[in-house]
Structure 1
Amino acid sequence: MKLVTRAQWGARDYRTPNGATPYSRARRGVKLHYLGTEFADRTHDRCGAYIRLLQDQHMDGRGWSDIGYSFLVCTHGYVYEGRGLKRRNSANGNTTLNEQDYAVCLLVGSSGRTQPTDEQLHGARDAIEHCRTNGPAGDWLGGHRDGYATTCPGDAVYAWAKKGAPRPDDGGSEPETPATERPVVDLSKLIAAAKADPPKKGTPVSYPGTKVVEAALVAEGLLARSLADGHFGSATVDAYALWQRRCGWSGDDADGLPGIASLTKLGKRRGFDVKE
């Protein structure tokens, strides 16, 4: 997840006591939002300023104690921390609804840019999974209009939510890749590399299949391209643990060491086969 913290986007301090109100119970799930006004896309270097503008509108125009959303997602796929995981949002319509679900806003409007980009859908999916894994939030997913009289989050985002918010490259199912010329990753050799390969660049790589897996993690947005050096070091372990959590595993099952199920799923998405 490409998270932009409040400090990184230059958030104002929230007002107390209301802005510091914590959730009193686990969240049912996540509600998606849009801006509900005209929105023009912009280069990413201007997105932080737009988030600051929204915060000003919410605090100075509406009298709220902070920006209303838990998280916001720009068209470039970056997830901006709003009230975050612990402080109750104010975007869902009333106190009961705010307490019930997180509020994730996609930066698209009712006119102008109305369709989310693929990068934005990936970012929104990352935000949903972040809320579920670290919130905690349950599996329920919907839009602002569920239980509140509004057109938010717009037809495009709402239809995506009702499909379960699939990542845009799979449409809700695993993509198939032609079987010809697909690399094969040996699970036992990969695990051995994960336990043995040093993280230092320039040292010999014990198993070339590591590069195949790292390339897949880069494609998933979980590993920086500069760290995909063929070594299954700490950065790759951390990235693979994120993949395991994305697949629904937790605890010891998400320790960053590949297992047959998670590796097969990654290979099916990213064009390689697995053997044990």
Structure 2
Amino acid sequence: MILRPRSHFGWGASAADYANPTKGLVVHYNGGPTSLRTVEDCIRYWKGVRTQHMSGNGWADIGYSFGVAVNGEVFTGRGLNRYQAAQGTTSGNANYYSVSLMIGGTEQPTPAQIQAVKDLRAYLMARGNSGTVLGHRDFVSTSCPGGVLYPLVKDGTFTGSGNGTPTTSTGTGEYRPENGDGLYMLYEYGDAIKPLQPKLGVTSDGYYGPGTEAAVRAYQQANGLTVDGIAGPQTLTHLGLTAPAPAKDSGVVEWPGVYLKDYTAHTSARTWQQRMKDRGWTITVDGKYGPASARVCLAFQKEKRLTADGIVGPDTWRAAWTSPVT
């Protein structure tokens, strides 16, 4: 399946809470007909849904785990291991992934969309999900996923054989992992992770599973690094690896190479201050990193369990764009 990461839509890491959905996949639809014809239509629609869910509903992110465009591409919403806002019940949102097919009313799913749901199911099953497929109406009183899709849920159409290996847009090769934010963390995958694993003594399979995370934590602990289980610039550099730069469309601003500490006056100080203000911190955006900015930095570092020194280095800078807002 062609799996589009969040970075494809200009989004960084999801701010939704962590969850471990293992019980199945829930099918949704648009509601009313949307007359989406092309993948470009679907991208605009997907971005609009996220805006509506966050601005209109006040949610932390788009409500769905994934979406399926009319051409069969799978769009990442909240993605793996995130609490949902789609099923309408606490148990449903915590224990099931969700997928919204980008059709509505009496519009028919394309063969590519049907296959994409099968592929997504296989992808999730490889990551510990049961493979059960339900409809939104199995949780709450609603017409979703509509009179066209719900019969396909009930007759087992979506539980057919699927190829759960993500590919690039050309259909070949393994998709680059994560959100394009330059960090490798739990449940991400891709060839870029493989060089890290033998240095930690774990199988080089490109899957950042619990074993790889545990090995990263052990390495960080043994070498006096920040212990967070995430292979970021500090850990990768210590291992002799080159930390990947954030993707241009990831929404993450690359670290400018300037350490911000007391009385640093630099354009990057203004950029960081504005980002922290956008995250809800009370901070003056003036491009001058003085004691007040350092106090915000120190509090932020303690909250995110970073090295608490009041200095904005590469890890603290990256966390300002990639860590969930809490």
User: How high is the TM-score relative to the length of structure 2?
Assistant: 0.48
Counterpart of 2:138, as a letter, is D
> Does the alignment pair 1:52 with 2:53?
no
Q: Secondary structure at the match of 1:139?
A: coil
Query: Given the superposition, is the C-alpha separation of residues 160 and 226 from structure 1 closer, same or farther in structure 2, using an over 3 Å criterion?
Result: closer
Q: Distance in 2 between matches of 1:221 and 1:47?
A: 19
Match for 1:94 among 79, 89, 95?
89
Identity of aligned residues (%): 34
User: 1:46-104: CA deviations, max 9, x gaps?
Assistant: 32221111100100011111000000001100000111111111100022210121111
Aligned residues: 174
For residue 126 of structure 1, what is the amino acid of its counterpart?
A: D
Query: Equivalents in 1 of 2:91, 2:166: separation in Å?
Result: 35
Equivalent pair of 2:3/2:168 in contact (CA under 8 Å): no
Change (3 A) 1:99 1:119: same
Aligned to 2:11: 11
Matching of residue 72 in structure 1 with residue 64 in structure 2 = no
| 1:143/1:153 contact within 8 Å kept | yes
CA shift digits 1:166-215 (9 cap, x unpaired): 58xxxx69xxxxxxxxxxxxxxxxxxxxxxxxxxxxxxxxxxxxxxxxxx
Q: Comparing both structures, which one devotes a greater share of its residues to strand?
A: 1
What is the CA distance between 1:13 and its match in structure 2? 5.8
Q: Which residue of 2 aligns with 1:203?
A: none
Over 3 Å off, 4+ runs: 12-15, 220-227
Q: Confirm or deny: 8 A CA contact 1:5 1:80 kept in the other structure.
A: yes
The match for 1:130 is: 123
Tell me, in whole angstroms, the C-alpha distance in 2 between the residues paired with 1:226 and 1:69: 24
The separation in 2 between residues aligned to 1:90 and 1:226, in whole angstroms, is: 31
Residue ranges of structure 1 left out of the alignment (5+ in a row): 174-216, 228-234, 237-276
Paired with 1:37 and 1:76, the residues of 2 have a C-alpha distance of 19
Distance of 1:3 and 1:82 partners within structure 2: 11
User: Aligned partners of 1:3, 1:222: CA distance in 2, in Å?
Assistant: 7
In the alignment, is the contact (CA less than 8 A) between 1:71 and 1:81 conserved in 2?
yes
Q: Which of these residues, 94, 113, 116, is aligned with residue 120 of structure 1?
A: 113
Q: Cα–Cα, structure 1 residues 60 and 14, in superposed 2: closer, same or farther, change >3 Å? A: farther
Match of 2:103?
108
**Residues 1:140 and 2:136 aligned together:** no
8 Å contact from structure 1 (residues 70, 104) kept in 2:
yes
**Does residue 29 of the first structure (1) align with residue 14 of the second (2)?**
no
Confirm whether residue 152 of structure 1 aligns to residue 147 of structure 2: no
Q: Scaled by the length of structure 1, what TM-score is found?
A: 0.56
Deviation per CA, 1:87-124: give whole Å up to 9, x if none.
Answer: 1111000222101211111011125xx21000111111
Q: Distance in 2 between matches of 1:120 and 1:4?
A: 14
Q: Tell me if structure 2 keeps the 8 A contact 1:11–1:52.
A: no
What secondary structure does 1:27 align onto?
A: coil
- CA distance in structure 2 between the aligned counterparts of 1:131 and 1:151, rounded to whole angstroms: 25
How far does residue 22 in structure 1 lie from its aligned partner after superposition? 1.0
Q: CA deviation at 1:161?
A: 1.4
Task: Quote how far apart the aligned CAs of 1:152 are.
Answer: 0.6
Aligned residues: CA RMSD: 3.0
Q: Secondary structure of 1:38's partner? A: coil
